[in-house]
A and B are shown apart, each in its own frame.
Chain A
Amino acid sequence: MDIPYTVEPRPDTGLYNAKVGIWLFLASEVMLFGALFSSYILLRVGAMGDNWPHGLLNIPIGTFNTAVLITSSVTVVLAWASLKMGNFARFRKIQSITILCALGFLGIKSVEYKDKFTHYEIWKKDGARMTGHIEGNPWFWNTATLDAKNLQSVKFHPDPHHYAEAKPKHKEAAGAPAAGHEEGHPAAIDIPRADIKRLSAYVPSHSTYFGIYFTLTALHALHVLGGAIVIFYLWAFGSKMWRTQPIRFTNRIEVSGLFWHFVDLVWIFLFPVLYLL
């Protein structure tokens, strides 16, 4: 005999199986991201003064991304509400916005990441530190790359301010963060290989700051991607199940929506903690 699917809530708990399952899973995810947040706090508190960069993340872009994710959160619940009211066509329309928002979020995140991978910091042997771009905007160079490519010097476009200098965010106008892209880079300077103690892009190995930043946001982005795939699958191929087992389909939309809201919840905390504080 086949084990039948159950969609009706159990009378004494008032819940159906999949809802219990997803909430339990979300509880475990709270612990997962919670551990990373705890690590963030510990690493930040333990870092000495100028080893914790500030103002390196683009706030307007981050704010926009937040709005995108919040929008997708409301569309995902409105899509479920449409199904509850029996309106499959409206569900498809609204849910497509969710998927577009998800893709938008991931796209913007990729742009942010790329911006980091082409942004460099040089520690010179005399103790000076400079941030900026390398001529040609290569990705992922580090000290070993210089030796592997047998370079005698690096053509470097330095930023006006290093992030460790006096708080640039209070000097800059809104929307132009200290270490972002600016029109008209200062002229390139040549830094001899012999002067360079360490070269690193803004990659996880740069510092614990970027390590935890990339880990938190990449893990979050993976969850966004996973959720988007599931929501897309149900959106694209759901009409058959809607016709044959509508309650089961509606429950699937609710459950995937709950996961999506959780992803939004994590970002609601990630954004201020990483970008603003």
Chain B
Amino acid sequence: MASPIHSPAATPPTTAHAHDAHDVKKDVKKYLIVFAALLVGTILTVGMYYVHIPSLVITITVALFIATVKAALVAGFFMHLISERKAIYSVLLATAFFFAAMMYLILWHRADIPSKSNWWEGNITKKEGPRNAIR
């Protein structure tokens, strides 16, 4: 019984399978290298905590940068994103964009609230607002 959703058997599957048996063996080595890199990244991040960099901005930036690199390694190699097709990429790109927009706009709102008594002088900074302000 013909399954209507597939093209006839004459069309062989294309190179969607990047991982045939012998390819996978090579990948195993990659996975182990990534594993080591992830552990190193973890140690670096924890190390930063004990070394105590004076600037808060730099601490946050470096920590999140390392985290992003680790995440990229997991996503790229463990989740095979690096060899994945465009369809998945576009979904993830859109998601990342909307996530960033959500986070940024929510925080921007908070930064842009005019203070009560002197709204004509510009917006409040983070620490001086009244304690009970709706923020």
Contacts and interface: CB of A to CB of B under 8 A. Distances in A.
Give yes or no for direct A-B contact (beta carbon below 8 Å). Answer: yes
B91 A24 contact: yes
Contact of B67 (A15, A23, A84, A272): A272
Contacts of B96: 30
Given A15-B87, A63-B46, A272-B64, A9 B6 contact: no
A38 interface: yes
A169 B48 CA distance: 12
B1 to A, nearest CB: 7
A128 interface: no
Nearest to B104: A38
A173 B100 CA distance: 37
B63 A15 contact: no
A89 interface: no
Contacts of B66: 272
Interface string B5-20: 1110001011111011
Contacts of B45: 271-272, 276
Interface in B28-68: 28, 31-32, 34-35, 38-39, 42-43, 45-46, 48-50, 52, 59-60, 63-64, 66-67
By CB atoms of chain B within 10 A, which of A23, A59, A264 has the most? A23
Contact of B48 (A4, A27, A262, A276): A276
B100 to A, nearest CB: 9
Contact of B75 (A13, A261, A269): A261
A31 interface: yes
Q: Please report whether the interface of chain B is mostly helix, strand, loop or mixed according to DSSP.
A: helix
A168 to B, nearest CB: 12
Interface in A139-156: none
A212 to B, nearest CB: 14
B71 to A, nearest CB: 5
Interface of A: 1, 4, 6, 8-9, 11, 13-15, 19-20, 23-24, 27, 30-31, 34-35, 37-38, 41-42, 45-46, 48-49, 59, 63, 66-67, 70-71, 73-74, 76-78, 81, 84-86, 169-170, 174, 257-258, 261-262, 264-265, 268-269, 271-272, 275-277
The 5 closest A-B pairs by CB, nearest first: A14-B16, A34-B99, A9-B16, A74-B35, A38-B103
Interface of B: 1, 3, 5-7, 11, 13-17, 19-21, 24-25, 27-28, 31-32, 34-35, 38-39, 42-43, 45-46, 48-50, 52, 59-60, 63-64, 66-67, 70-71, 74-75, 77-79, 85, 87-88, 91-92, 94-96, 98-99, 102-103, 106-107, 110, 126-127, 131, 135
Given A48-B131, A77-B78, 7 more contacts: A4-B3, A20-B88, A31-B95, A38-B102, A73-B35, A78-B28, A276-B49
